[in-house]
Amino acid sequence: MRNVKKLILALLLIFIFFANGSCSRKDNKPGQVTICFAFQDLETEYWVAAHKAITETLKARNIMVLQRNAHQDANRQLEQIRDAIAQDVDGIIMIPQDGESAVTIIGEANKAGIPIGVFNRPPADKSNPALVVVADNTRIAEETVAYMAKAARKLNRKMTPLILVGDLGDQNSIERKNGFYNAVNAHPDLFKKPIEVPTKWDAATTLANLEAALQVEPAVDFVFTSSDFLYPQIKAVLEPLGKWKPIGDAGHVILGGLDGDSTAYRLMQEGYVDATGVQDLFFEADEIMEALLDAIEKGQTKPEKWIQDPGFALMQENMAEREMDMWGCRILKQAKAGTAQ
Amino acid sequence: MRARRILLRLPGVIVLSDHFVLVMTVLYFLLIWAVYPHMAGRRNIANLFSNVWPLLALVIGQMFVLIVGGIDLSQTSIMAVTSVLGAMMMAGRFDPAKFEQNPLWGVVFSEQGGLLAGSGWAVPAAIMVMLFVGVGIGLLNGVAVAKLKMPPFMVTLVAMSFYSGLAIYLSRSENIMHLPDSFIAVGKGTVGPIPSAMLIVVTLAFLAFVILNLSILGRWLYAVGQNIRTARVSGIPTERVVVLAYVFSGFCAALGSILYSARLEAGRPTLGRNLLLDVIGAAVIGGISLYGGKGRVLWAVYGVLFFVVLDNSLNKMPLEFYSIDIIKGGVILLAALLDSLRTHIASRQTAPEGIF
């Protein structure tokens, strides 16, 4: 037992002796830029595509990328980013779990003097400076729902609208909800009181809550999903009720969403979805990387810039001209081209 | 000759030692440090320890329940509900756009802040409420297990679901920001050169050590965990002992909630949602038995250190994110296997001849 204690003591002494002198060495190759890319999870196609775009572009530029997945845990993300800061990374790109934790984490980066970029999910307030790229969610949602309302008007009846609301800790969800209400409230004669179904950005929660909502109010005939990744759950609930019908069929539920993923594109092609709001994923990824690399090059430690992705609404009537601006369509066509080769 | 004999026996002695997990942790640390020099940098060491303290508070609480042969799956939901309640009392202001629809709007909190916002008592009172609620939930769990003879797994699983839901209901899924600076300092501040979180958790560990090693209650806890029927026959108030173990676990969970909420600067209804594996994993790797009757504060410390060092080291590596999860799972499995092997060897060495 005494030998073990001596060994432990020796190991600890060696560690303490070397620990003090070792912090100035960098872990990467000399001159190579290191960026920590911390994301909350890759639960939707949007995040997967964004992750791919960011990591591949950075690697192609010979930038070392430290990828950190927080598995939807804000505390874990904080710990991961603190670890990255301790590793003297040159910059951080973060997809935060929510706007509130983003503020705290940006504060940590600010304190350490490391520039940080926030991708797509904005901080809850601007108390700590950061580079932020975010879509104009309110306007995109409003445009999309306005088109859906135009389609509803042709049916000459009062509609029962339903919105699948995202996690309200996410500013994007709140803005999409606001955009939905802006458009619906513009037509008081057309819509009954909207039904709100919470999803917490979770497929299982969505399925359960949507089923319950349609049991209570089976007359729902106008559905807006705050994210395209929930279309499979919508189909799973509507189909057994005989409400999964293409545009033009009696019983078609007017359907729209926001993101612009490949499922939404396919469903628009097949005629089930009327419109979808599109975030320009590639624009957002390029902008945040350029802004961060520029800040690193200029030696800025607390750069502040909010970049807005205007996005657009892809509708049945403009689909032919604008579908290639939709990232989901481009990804699908690239994948098809890859398979064909 | 003597030195050679000692050297030959050393691996066996280390493997069977109480400090085996610590030796593994230090060796692993040195190995990683050789490749990633930042591992031993001052800032990283500070990070590493700041991650240790709140997790250790939870593991110490879990250890008490494991010692009596139970398990507390509700710790993370206690964290969530106490985090929300504490923040509702002391937050400096609330955004009406997010909270106006909340059933407690205008009753417990309003745009001007929580019930006690601005008062000098806001932080101590909120902390007391958080601890009180943690103890209360622990008491309910303990009573259900000890008096109603319900299986601990089911009781705490249901409690986990119920209190997680309650936290989301109370906050309507919203995080509560604008906590007072003096509360944030509990998790992020220092007292002189010493982090306040360290002071709090070291005090907790000392208290746990005193209870387990120097008090009659400690002996009762081990006796109940080793054989509850024998303990009862021996005159130990087994029901009260089990209830106390769950109460202590609830208290530790609330303390963990205070530290995590302070470092995240928000009351969060999802606080600790993914932490349960870390808590139970660290306890088991430290050597605390899932079958009861076995556990020490030092083992909890070792288990947490191992977990935190592993996490920290994986954060240093330029790996694909999925490979990090695979490696982490693999290392934990290896550590658990080694621990199992070690227990097997130890039991062979102490068993009378002819048994194996």
- Phi first, then psi, for residue A267 (nearest 5°) are -70, -30
How many whole angstroms separate alpha carbon B207 and alpha carbon A105? 33
B272/A75 touch (CB, cutoff 8 Å), yes or no: yes
A72/B274 touch (CB, cutoff 8 Å), yes or no: yes
Reference B288, options B275, B276, B303, B273; nearest CA is B303
Its sign, for the CA torsion A214, A220, A226, A229, is positive
How many whole angstroms separate alpha carbon B246 and alpha carbon B337? 29
Chain A CB contacts of B197 under 8 Å are none
Helices B238-264 & A99-112 angle (0-180, nearest 10): 60
Chain segment B308-345, per-residue pLDDT in tens: 999 889 888 877 777 877 887 887 787 777 767 777 77
Distance from CA of A323 to the nearest CA of B (A): 32
Name the residue in chain A with its Cα closest to that of B49: A79
Give the pairing type, strands A195-198 and A161-165.
parallel
* Angle formed at CA B343 by CA B337 and CA B344, multiple of 5 degrees: 90
Give start and end residues of each alpha helix (H) in B214-296.
216-226, 228-233, 238-264, 276-286
Give the count of alpha carbons within 13 A of A47, CB side only.
19
**Domains, chain B, ranges and CATH?**
42-346 (1.10.3470)
Q: Specify the 3-state DSSP secondary structure of A296.
A: helix
Q: Specify the 3-state DSSP secondary structure of A81.
A: helix
Chain A CB contacts of B41 under 8 Å are 19, 22-24, 86
Helices A327-340 & A262-270 angle (0-180, nearest 10): 90
Nearest by CB to residue A101, choosing from B13, B36, B264, is B264
pLDDT in tens, chain B (356 residues): 666 776 666 666 666 777 888 988 999 899 999 988 888 888 899 989 999 999 999 999 999 999 999 999 999 999 999 999 999 999 999 988 778 878 889 888 998 999 888 888 999 999 999 999 999 999 999 999 999 999 999 999 999 999 998 998 888 878 899 999 999 999 999 998 899 999 999 999 999 999 999 999 999 999 999 999 999 999 999 999 999 999 999 999 999 999 999 999 999 998 988 899 889 989 988 889 888 999 999 999 999 999 899 988 988 887 777 787 788 788 778 777 776 777 777 777 665 543 33
Its sign, for the CA torsion A270, A273, A276, A282, is negative
Q: What is the pLDDT of residue A340?
A: 62
What is the biggest distance separating any 2 CA atoms in chain A, rounded to whole angstroms? 89
Chain A CB contacts of B260 under 8 Å are 75
How many whole angstroms separate alpha carbon A322 and alpha carbon A315? 9
pTM, whole model, 2 decimals?
A: 0.83
B37/A168 touch (CB, cutoff 8 Å), yes or no: no
Q: Specify the 3-state DSSP secondary structure of A1.
A: coil
Chain segment B170-220, per-residue pLDDT in tens: 888 788 999 999 999 999 999 988 999 999 999 999 999 999 999 999 999
How many whole angstroms separate alpha carbon B104 and alpha carbon B88? 9
Name the residue in chain A with its Cα closest to that of B177: A100
Chain B CB contacts of A73 under 8 Å are 273-275
CB A206 within 8 A of CB A199: yes
A100/B266 touch (CB, cutoff 8 Å), yes or no: yes
Q: Specify the 3-state DSSP secondary structure of A118.
A: strand
B23/A3 touch (CB, cutoff 8 Å), yes or no: no
How many whole angstroms separate alpha carbon A298 and alpha carbon A330? 34
How many whole angstroms separate alpha carbon B211 and alpha carbon B247? 14
Chain A CB contacts of B315 under 8 Å are 66, 68, 79-80, 83-84, 87
Q: Which residues contact A49 (CB under 8 A, 6 or more apart)?
A: A261, A281, A327, A331
Distance from CA of A123 to the nearest CA of B (A): 12
Q: How far is CA B30 from CA A14, A80, A252, in A?
A: 9, 20, 64
- Phi first, then psi, for residue B22 (nearest 5°) are -65, -45
Q: Which residue has the tokens 């049991």?
A: A215
Q: Specify the 3-state DSSP secondary structure of A44.
A: coil
**Structure tokens belonging to residue B228:** 């509850």
A7/B23 touch (CB, cutoff 8 Å), yes or no: yes
Q: Bin B72: left if φ > 0, else alpha if -120 < ψ < 50, else beta.
A: beta
Looking at this predicted complex, what is its ipTM? 0.82
Count of A–B CB contacts within 8 Å?
A: 151
B174/A169 touch (CB, cutoff 8 Å), yes or no: yes
Give the pairing type, strands A64-69 and A161-165.
unpaired
Give the pairing type, strands B109-110 and A64-69.
unpaired
What's B74's DSSP letter?
T
Side chain identity at residue A12, one-letter code: L
Q: Specify the 3-state DSSP secondary structure of B228.
A: helix
How many whole angstroms separate alpha carbon B339 and alpha carbon B303? 11
Distance from CA of A57 to the nearest CA of B (A): 15
How many whole angstroms separate alpha carbon A29 and alpha carbon A18? 21
